[in-house]
Structure 1
Amino acid sequence: MINKGCDASVLLDDTQDFVGEKTAGPNLNSLRGFEVIDKIKSELELICPHTVSCADILATAARDSVLLSGGPIWEMQMGRKDSITGSKDAANNNIPGPNSTVDVLLAKFENVGLTLKDMVALSGAHTIGKARCTTFSSRLQSSSDSENIDFISSLQQLCSGADNGNIVAHLDLATPATFDNQYFVNLLSGEGLLPSDQTLVNGNDQTREIVENYVENPLAFFEDFKHSMLKMGSLGSPSNGQIRRDCRTVN
């Protein structure tokens, strides 16, 4: 999730007078691909200068990444403005951490107008992507009888290196490059990588019920994910925003 909404604040680089969100705890050494957005913005500025915001580029890139990975397509709502500032403190405080409980996750989502179902559906984005060993270290120490011991052992072996902060694991080990409902299948098998993933099954009956529905009905997941992405993509476009010429700096 983004700090204040879909406003591209996360793309701003630090300057002498400004500390942005890239070095916030949830983002540092985690968010990647900024150069891809730079390239898209550069090409768009040549064709239709000062027309497409960086926020719209981010939202469209997210949609197209899902589609190219085998997931659903949805009609984009365009016209977002780019934020002229960002907040490292807000990013640290508002983005759910990898050890979050269901209650913490729900509070963070409800704080921006998203529901429990939105939270579970959007968590399904973890069907693609990777996470560093440091973000799921508490899973490595788990000894509960309800855990998948083979899965935990494989993670312990992966993260056993001295520099495990740079070692990454797929969020979905089964189909890591495919956008599907396998993430939810993994949760029911005790193979959620992040504690905030596994808690959707172990920590709350309501979220577990939604997970089970998405396992049985992948099309329901796709439909709910599309709906929730559109809701999230409409959050918080700043009234005093702009269309940046360079996504890393304000005009």
Structure 2
Amino acid sequence: MSLLKIASVACIALTLGACQSLFQPNYSTPLEATRDASEQSKPDCTNADCPLVNIDTVHFAKEPKLDALIEQRLLEMTRTRSSDPLPSSLATYREQFLSTAAPRNSMYLQAKVREQHDGLVIIELSSYLDQGATHGEPGRAFINYSRPQQKALSLSDMLLPGKEEAFWKAAQVAHNSWLISTRLSLEPEFVKRYPFQKTPNVALTSGSVTLKYPTTTIAPYALGHIELQIPYSRLEGIIKPELVPARS
């Protein structure tokens, strides 16, 4: 083959490669999110005790699956019982709540982008239901949305096969470190009353894997939602390598 033909083939190959890269999503560029915040009290209510609903969420015009998933997860957080049917939308939930809520009752729902990295969008969800008791009922959850896979990752999606027990052992080490750093390990009654537990809230944050606990699970209500961090270095051979952030 002549040098001219070799050069021509090389040029074609480079051009094709450039075209392919143009049509593939650039996962290093964060998705654009639009905030959507509103607060509404019960219609025709004019006193200071009107029930209200505050919704503060985000929308992703270029990722409709994630957009729909956020609304679904927020709606799941409105249920006071797991058997309760889900409202068809956040707008429907707001109307239902305001039509039946007692004075001074309120609901707060939030979805925010906690991080975006390595093709992942980490959404943190919050809820707070106030029904006039001594304190309200707070909730937290995460969505680990994989842009390449177009889905939310479960814990089993994150771990290598057969490694769930090893993951929770690493989490227990993180819990012990938290007890020591807060000096709560010096209080035998606390350690006995609030032993280590698993949590459904696991996030693939960039610096470490984050565990967030519902209130009163591993600490009293007053301490809020405790976060534990597991460095990725402790999860080698446990978490799928492709999910470890490049800078870790």
Query: What interval of TM-score do these two structures reach, taking the shorter chain for normalisation?
Result: under 0.3
TM-score normalised according to structure 1 size: 0.26
Larger RCO (CA under 8 A, 6+ residues apart) = 1
Please identify the structure whose Cα radius of gyration is greater: 2
